Amino acid sequence: MRWQGRRGSRNIEDRRRLGAGRAGGLGLGGVLAVLAIGYVLGIDVTPLLQGAGPAGGGGGGAPRELTAAERQAGEFVAVTLADTEEIWTDIFARDLGASYRPAVLVLFSDVTASPCGGASGATGPFYCPLDRKIYLDTAFFATLAERLGARGDFAAAYVVAHEVAHHVQNELGILGEANRLRQQASAARSNAISVRIELQADCLAGIWARQAEARFGTLEPGDVEEAMNAARQIGDDTLQRNAGRRPMPDSFTHGTSEQRQRWFANGYRTGALGDCDTFGAERL
């Protein structure tokens, strides 16, 4: 992915300098291992990271300088976010006759606070509709590559684009309605609705990838394959198998590896919003 030297978004709230702590005395390798366990099993392992400090900041330690790797990760996220802003602004204006209001992306280390609850590397990146912000610990990129087997900068870009897609859903009124239905549904039905939300976000991320390639020429050979591999590695069935568990479809909240790949590919192939209607689809 060609991203170096390009414009970065100003809609970045960087909390990483607030002091990351060492997550209960764990070194980086230990932190990554604990975070991977939480992500794969679908549990919040924040209690295992209590040494990271209060949830209201980046970790409660003294202000610190970012490492070179952290600075580069922040620049990468800012460029990717800027691309999503330009692309979705154009799509909203051209296809919907509407204005797109960009999301703010919060970068943090270890733990921080959000209106949707405590954010930690253990929860993985997420979008909070209450404040219209995306929360991302850039250490997750290392977890993605080293523990989940999804390597490459475009795999990381796919993660950002997927979370931005949740903001797009929120702007369109889809996310609010879907979450309202989830609150009234049984656990199994709620999970089924969640799968449709997530697969639509994958499809919208595919639209972004198509537009980024056409508009900016940033994609390099193998980039789409990196995104497809990431979609495969974080499918519910693959995560549960890798955790030594038998896949339980009723517990799926994001979709199978095959579904996630197919819906991303669908958005990338057609570039049409109408082809991302997972809620109207008979087959996911």
Tell me the two tokens of residue 233. 């590695």
What distance in Å separates the CA atoms of residue 35 and residue 123, rounded to the nearest whole number? 8
Residue with tokens 């979709």: 255
Structure confidence at residue 40 (pLDDT): 40
Closest by Cα among 65, 49, 61, 79 to 21: 61
CA distance readout (Å), 60 to 47, 57, 105: 16, 6, 20
pLDDT tens for residues 8-18? 999 999 999 87
Q: What distance in Å separates the CA atoms of residue 224 and residue 196, rounded to the nearest whole number?
A: 22
Largest interatomic CA distance in the chain? 53
Q: Which percentage of the chain shows pLDDT scores above 90?
A: 67
**SS3 assignment, position 119:** strand
Q: Which residue has the tokens 């607030």?
A: 18
**29 pLDDT above the threshold of 90:** no
129-138 confidence digits (pLDDT tens): 999 999 999 8
Report the pLDDT value the prediction gives residue 251, as an integer from 0 to 100: 93
How do residues 237-283 score in pLDDT, each as one tens digit? 999 998 899 999 999 999 999 999 999 999 999 999 999 999 999 89
Of 259, 232, 204, give the one whose Cα is nearest residue 84: 204
Q: 276 near 267, Cβ under 8 Å? A: yes
Contacts 24+ apart (CB under 8 A), 183-190: 188/250
Tokens found for residue 13:
């709230």
